[in-house]
Structure 1
């Protein structure tokens, strides 16, 4: 999708007033965007691999090992995304005097640690 500042990156709708689907967006650098998408595509491939293992009646522990690898990849994705979020969105909001972002961050970290 083309990156047009007048359109919502999630739905393509106009953002002049508020977007119909969400209010917050993050513009990512091309490097960050590519890294995150590559990680997700790798995870998607791992999930497809597990699906194939189930279809082929693979042994349970072999499947479980692959699922553990998927969980590790998702955790790694979350760490990268959270680090980027703290360095950009959170830091910027704090500089602008928006301390509510700290409560939001605490909530996100608590959900990630469940």
Structure 2
């Protein structure tokens, strides 16, 4: 299954990932500077949420695409797609 996101969805996901990339670089600097554990963990939690949101946006787009492609398809194919998508969602939990 190849993922095709709409332009605005793709832009939003890429922006989240770039923001997370910047946050990770900031966390590395914080650790190198000897910043407090609380500050570092707070930033780690923020980047984790940003990555989760990007992942959920990609999965939601994939779900929408899969359902559209398999609408009217065989029940066993739909079940296989549902199981794959469920596994993806659980990998982010």
Normalised TM-score (structure 1): 0.69
**Distance in 2 (alpha carbons) for counterparts of 1:28 and 1:106:** 19
Q: How far did residue 45 of structure 1 move? A: 0.3
Name the residue aligned to 2:92.
112
Quick check: which one's helix share is greater? 2
Deviates more, 1:58-67 or 1:76-85: 76-85
**Distance in 2 (alpha carbons) for counterparts of 1:96 and 1:49:** 48
Q: How far did residue 96 of structure 1 move? A: 4.8
Q: After TM superposition, where is structure 1 displaced by more than 3 Å over at least 4 residues in a row?
A: none
Aligned length in residues: 89
Q: Which structure 1 residue ranges, 5 or more long, are not aligned?
A: 1-23
Q: Which structure 2 residue ranges, 5 or more long, are not aligned?
A: none
**Distance in 1 (alpha carbons) for counterparts of 2:46 and 2:56:** 15
1:51-90 aligned at under 5 Å gives the runs: 51-88=28-65, 90=66
Which residue of the other structure, out of 19, 32, 35, is the alignment partner of 2:12?
35
**Distance in 1 (alpha carbons) for counterparts of 2:5 and 2:59:** 13
**Distance in 2 (alpha carbons) for counterparts of 1:96 and 1:52:** 52
**Distance in 2 (alpha carbons) for counterparts of 1:62 and 1:43:** 16
**Distance in 2 (alpha carbons) for counterparts of 1:64 and 1:49:** 12
Which deviations, in whole Å up to 9, do the C-alpha atoms of 1:75-96 show, x marking residues without a partner? 21122222222222x2124315
